[in-house]
Amino acid sequence: MAIGYKQVTLITGASSGIGFALVFELLKRNHLVLASMRKPDRAQASFEAHPSYPLFKDNLRLCKLDVTTDSCEKTIARLVKEYGVPDIVINNAGLGVYGPFEELTDQEFRSQFETNFFGALRVARAVLPGMRKEGHGKLINVSSILGQLAIPTGSAYTASKWAMEAWSEALRYEVAPFGVSVTLIEPGLIRTQFKKNMVIARAIEPAYAFLHKLVGRNYDRVATSPEACARRIAKVILRSKPATRYRVGYDAHFYYLLRQILPDRFLDLLIRSYTGKPGG
């Protein structure tokens, strides 16, 4: 049985990275955490190996949930029946599909949107009726600074995040009268297994070899730790009236600032210089 928890929080994509760090950050804050993922059996050992696990395991539930399937809403309905309507829902499940547009297939685009966009929609549909009825709730959608800025090789990923941003803003207006808030989190680079798990377009056009070099670059020196990101999100959750969006990481703040102060022409030149040229 859970021990005196104060809020129920559902996190998607909790097996690693930001989601995993969020689990323990919120357990420390006395939440009952429903940590959902596609393969909880495979992740069990990672949770048990965490130093804080023995202290908080009574308030942790590992749940099998695949946000890309039609059964997602039924699974959440069962969780709601067992644990009640979550006070907080964090749409964190994500996938990265990268490569030059001409080398990306329609199926790769669909796969990108199924996880990053439609997955979040399915989760929201499952929890919003209960939140509206109870007159409170917080929906936290983990987007990216790339929901504000597009980069070469990121046409699929950035499109999915821009879609999440627009949907979240519209939804925020619709559910606010019911006491439900919708907030976007826009991390920059985070030191996770995200890059290792990326889907990269098959190189079929030699002319785009210079773009494939971009995908292979290492940017860890400017990346933020998942623990720091989790702490930022936890602070957002504490706010009684969270804002529309919050950026996480120095790079996210820097890129956003450039977007605000530089004319499009100068920003375009900056990104082109970073991209390089064929044969370069």
Q: How many other CB atoms sit within 10 Å of the CB of residue 90?
A: 29
Cα 208 to Cα 119: distance, rounded to the nearest angstrom: 31
- Report how far residue 93's alpha carbon sits from residue 160's, in angstroms, rounded to the nearest whole number: 12
Least confident of 104-113, 166-175, 186-195, 245-254: 186-195
Write down the pLDDT at residue 48: 97
Question: What is the set of active-site residues?
Answer: 143, 157, 161
Q: How far is CA 100 from CA 28, 111, 246, in A?
A: 42, 16, 29
Mean pLDDT score, 123-141:
98
The strands making up 137-142's β-sheet, listed across from edge to edge, are 60-64, 31-37, 7-11, 88-91, 137-142, 180-187, 245-248
pTM: 0.93
Sorted by sequence, the CB contacts under 8 Å of residue 240 that are 6+ apart come out as none
Which domains can be identified in the chain, with CATH numbers?
7-275 (3.40.50.720)
230 Cα distance to chain centroid: 11
Does residue 80 contact residue 130 with C-beta atoms inside 8 Å?
A: yes
Q: What percent of the chain has pLDDT over 90?
A: 75
Average pLDDT over residues 24-42: 96
Whether pLDDT at 224 is above 70? yes
Confidence of residue 192 (pLDDT cuts 50, 70, 90): confident
Residue 177 backbone phi and psi in degrees, to 5: -65, -15
Average pLDDT in the chain? 92
pLDDT of residue 3: 57
In 10 A of CB 36, how many CB atoms? 28
Which whole-number Å values give the CA distances from 160 to 49, 100, 120, 123, 133, in the listed order?
33, 16, 11, 16, 30
pLDDT exceeds 70 at position 122? yes
Give Cβ neighbours of residue 107 (< 8 Å, ≥ 6 apart). none
Who has greater pLDDT, 64 or 205?
64
pLDDT band at 280 (very low <50, low <70, confident <90, very high): low
